Amino acid sequence: MTQPFRIPGRGRVDQSRPVQFTFDGRTVTGCLGDTVASALLANGIHLMGRSFKYHRPRGVVSAGSEEPNALVGTSRGPGRFEPNTRATMQEIWDELRVESQNRWPGLAFDIGAINDRFGRFLPAGFYYKTFMWPRSFWDKVYEPFIRAAAGLGRSPTEPDPDLYASRNLHCEVLVVGAGPAGLAAALAAGRSGASVVLVDEQSAMGGTLLSEPDVRIDGQGAWDWLAATLAELRSLPSVRLMTRTTAIGYYHQNMVGLCQRVTDHLASPPEGAPRERLWRVRAGQVVLAQGAIEKPLVFDGNDRPGVMLAGAAQTFLHRFGVKVGDRAVVVTSHDSAWHTAFDLARAGVRVPAIVDVRAQVPPDLAARARSLGIEVLASHTVTGTTGRLRVASVMVNPVRGDRVGPWRGIDCDALLMCGGWTPSLHLFSHTKGSLAWDAQAGAFLPDRKTEDCEIAGAGRGLWGIAAALEDGAKAGTAAAKALGRVAGVGTFAVEDDRTGSGVVVKELPTDRDASLAKAFIDFQNDVTAKDIRLAVREGMRSIEHVKRYTTNGMATDQGKLSNINGLMIAADALGKEAPQVGLTTFRPPYAPTTFGALAGYHRGSHFEVTRKTPIDAWAESRGAVFEPVALWRRARYFPQGAEDMRAAVARECRAVRTAVGLFDASTLGKIEVMGPDAATFLERMYTNPWAKLQPGRCRYGLLLGEDGFIRDDGVIGRLTADKFHVTTTTGGAARVLNMMEDYLQTEWPDLDVWLTSTTEAWAVAAVQGPNARKLLEPLVEGLDLSDAAFPHMAVAECTVAGFPARLFRVSFTGELGFEINVPARHGLALWEKLWQAGQSHGITAYGTETMHVLRAEKGFILVGQDTDGTVTPGDAGLDWAIGKQKKDFVGKRSLQRPDIVAKGRKQLVGLLTEDPREVLEEGAQIVADPHQPVPMTMIGHVTSSYWSEALGRSIAMALVEGGRDREGQTLHIPMPGRTLRAKVTGTAFVDPEGQRLKV
């Protein structure tokens, strides 16, 4: 027998099916159905990790998802490593690899534990106090220290290879927690015919019934009743049961998020199965039956391996058939731990004593203890423990009034504590349901509800199986009735129930120097009672401040065990009652949840889509280098041979200025504005005048926000009196349409206008360069392309290369240019015909980088690059685009706001570096005087900067305070190690008169 603490014939694990896994490289044998924690305990291993701050040796404290200590790393095969897995939740399987955390070089001997010896130097607020001064220490001393000490476990290093699924589900009643209350609720609702979903985070349903097999319900043993109940629920077609499923958050209108662990417990998951599945459940009614979490007691040395919650010991005994030790002492303030002691004693564990802090203990319990040979120590306290890697003895003292008497030691290898129970109301708190302090229960209980939910069982402070069953049935019936169903109330006959009560305590009384005590409240974050009291002494009054100052409750268990104890001690230190101090807020998720589950299918290309133009395949086949632009994939440049970007862009620029270039402009946003009032509408939206624009002509349009700042721009063509083809920036298409719809629907619903997004309906090929007309003329039917008949800023519907087209004569390069719009399905064919026809004219495909250079040479702005949401038309030098006669347009009034007419605004100017080879960095800051002390007064920044092949030098644009008045001045651009000089110029660097368009 390799599992000396396994009790043959006990528990719900399959003792005939051994399972071997490794823990820190050593093979450990457990049974099918074990968790990592239960299997390690079966082998007598309590030491499972080290704590975060002091690296103190730690053992398992609980048997559930609230576990703060037994966090381990789990490896499920290549690339499948997870830190901070709770050993109490992870089921074992052959070849699972488990490693302990926060120790080096090993779990039993750990260098970092030196922090423990110097623990008095790491009090509450340590980080705030220590890492403040001097500034120069930050980079070299503090940050490396924090980085070395920070983090729980180690992060996985490889991309997560697992799949994560997500689903929506609607049901009438969602029951969270499948203990007696949840089961009874699901039965009541299910029997009424309601569609019911019953979820539990454990691998098996039953909750406390799994740990209390001796209770009898309706004449059956608890486990027989459980099996029959589950069978009935399964037989109801409208009931869905889900295990290994944690309700992580309770959101508005009865939406509950569930995280289902699908494959982590399987040695060989089915091919393609998701690791986890996130369910978004919308329920008519929710029944919260999450039970209660046992409170640890706070005393010196309460974190030694072997010290654990009494209820956990009971679960390990009954559910897993594991004794947590050979000699277990119980210390409690509640009746429930007495039953644990009895169960352990009857299972063959020696229980030398039950230490109860209460002066009066129920006589029947005391009598039963004595009959089992257990010494009863009422009105006693625990003042310390001994043992290095495992508890070896406990120091027990009598208490008389306020006096703590002399201690005596009791040898033990397990110390089981119980400070009462905290109703599990995390999900209820997510709904902003309020809690009220119940002095009798010594707990916060649900008060005002905000959602259609019922709370049942221990969550309402009820103890015992009978009470839970009855309350659950009532909740299930109420939920069914609220949905208009007819439901009866089930009744249950319960024998041998374990009811009881207890008292609420803060730290246990001690006769020893409290300043030397290490009485832990938050095990995971190493927060002690002393830290809480120190925080209060140092001025923290709000529980929220105490929490942040001490980090109590801020670890991955979110204070499931520590919040109430922290509150009790803070309240005592403040001299207030618990409800006056209040609880911190519980927020989702209830338990740590993987990013994978939350991301679900939304990863990679399902997270960020890639939009491709009809010409994308051609660009790819030509070796284009792509860049993402507003979810589009755009060809940035087309390198030939060994060309780098600079060489390719220089070649492409030369081709456009000397021959002809072909550019895929399909991503331009396009909106068709139609209707009798289309011109009026555009007149109101854009700064420019539209009413007199003739059909067949187009115009640059500038769109402002109502605040007067530039939002978008683009060429707008008038095809007929009531039809406009509006283009927007690539990134602005959806925004502009939304803005137009907003004004049309809500400000001017009287206008007869229809807006249609046509961005993806049209493919656009831009033909730019002196040879553009020569290339195009033979391909165009039904249109005279001569300058006289089709001048710059003309638009016409015609046929190009046999395809119906909207042809614009426009130029974003300063060269003779045309933009050909054809239905998207013809885009590639048009492109190939243009390419073919252009061979004799020196045609060159160019990408977005060349487009940027060419437009910058002309001083054309890119909205979002040369503007940033605070730039007015005046700032950008676009006053010419404002219809001076117009009485109103969106943003017009704002152009007279005091700050916008004020002097000294940042204006767009050109910059020419003193060294023509120096290309400035976009975003670089600009100063007037480079000799001023640091921090310097920055007067602007570089917005666009390129090598201009046409000029054989660099060019840049910049937003500079009072920029246009500085023309001719030299400004300074401080860079690491040097300062560059540049002269302020106009923004049109090439052909400022626009002669090249007049051909």
Partner 1 sequence: MLLIHCPYCDETLPEPEFAYAGEAHIARPADPMALTDEEWRDFLFIRSNPRGTHYERWRHVHGCGRFFNAIRDTVSDKFAMTYRAGEPRPNLDALKEAAE
Q: Could you list the residues that contact partner 1 (CB under 8 A)?
A: 251-253, 255, 280, 282, 432, 450, 706-707, 738, 741-743, 745-747, 749, 887-888, 892-894, 896-898
Cα–Cα distance, 698 to 690 (Å, whole number): 9
Cα–Cα distance, 87 to 70 (Å, whole number): 6
Report the Cα 163 to chain-centroid distance in Å: 18
> Closest approach of Cβ 700 to partner 1, in Å?
24
> Closest approach of Cβ 284 to partner 1, in Å?
12
Identity of the residue, 898 or 977, whose beta carbon is nearer to partner 1 in the bound complex:
898
Degrees to nearest 5, angle at CA 699 with 693 and 700: 145
> Closest approach of Cβ 238 to partner 1, in Å?
23
> Closest approach of Cβ 253 to partner 1, in Å?
5
Instruction: List the structure tokens of 693.
Output: 């624009």
> Closest approach of Cβ 897 to partner 1, in Å?
6
> Closest approach of Cβ 746 to partner 1, in Å?
5
Instruction: List the structure tokens of 471.
Output: 């309350």
- CB-CB contact of 340 with 310 (8 Å): yes
Cα–Cα distance, 911 to 957 (Å, whole number): 6
Identity of the residue, 139 or 888, whose beta carbon is nearer to partner 1 in the bound complex:
888
> Closest approach of Cβ 815 to partner 1, in Å?
39
Cα–Cα distance, 532 to 300 (Å, whole number): 15
Report the Cα 828 to chain-centroid distance in Å: 41
Report the Cα 995 to chain-centroid distance in Å: 55
Cα–Cα distance, 557 to 580 (Å, whole number): 25
> Closest approach of Cβ 252 to partner 1, in Å?
5
> Closest approach of Cβ 356 to partner 1, in Å?
44
β-bridge mates for residue 249, sequence order: 257
Torsion region of 23: left, alpha or beta (phi above 0 gives left; psi -120 to 50 gives alpha): beta
Q: Which residues of 800-836 are buried (b: 16+ CB within 10 A; e: fewer)?
A: bbebebbbbbbbbbbbbbbbbbbebebbbebbebbee
Identity of the residue, 58 or 905, whose beta carbon is nearer to partner 1 in the bound complex:
905
- Please count the CA atoms within 13 angstroms of the CA of 216 that sit on its side-chain side: 5
Identity of the residue, 448 or 917, whose beta carbon is nearer to partner 1 in the bound complex:
448
Identity of the residue, 747 or 784, whose beta carbon is nearer to partner 1 in the bound complex:
747
- Please count the CA atoms within 13 angstroms of the CA of 118 that sit on its side-chain side: 9
> Closest approach of Cβ 707 to partner 1, in Å?
6
Torsion region of 631: left, alpha or beta (phi above 0 gives left; psi -120 to 50 gives alpha): left
Identity of the residue, 280 or 792, whose beta carbon is nearer to partner 1 in the bound complex:
280
- CB-CB contact of 6 with 18 (8 Å): no
- CB-CB contact of 957 with 856 (8 Å): yes
> Closest approach of Cβ 747 to partner 1, in Å?
5
Identity of the residue, 428 or 463, whose beta carbon is nearer to partner 1 in the bound complex:
428
Identity of the residue, 670 or 966, whose beta carbon is nearer to partner 1 in the bound complex:
670
> Closest approach of Cβ 603 to partner 1, in Å?
18
Express the helix, strand and coil content of the chain in percent, nearest 5 each.
Answer: 25, 30, 45
> Closest approach of Cβ 478 to partner 1, in Å?
22
Cα–Cα distance, 104 to 50 (Å, whole number): 10
Long-range contacts of 971-975 (CB under 8 A, 24+ apart): 971/911, 971/926, 971/927, 971/928, 971/939, 971/940, 972/926, 972/927, 972/928, 972/929, 972/930, 973/920, 973/924, 973/925, 973/926, 973/927, 973/942, 974/925, 974/927, 974/930, 974/936, 975/921, 975/924
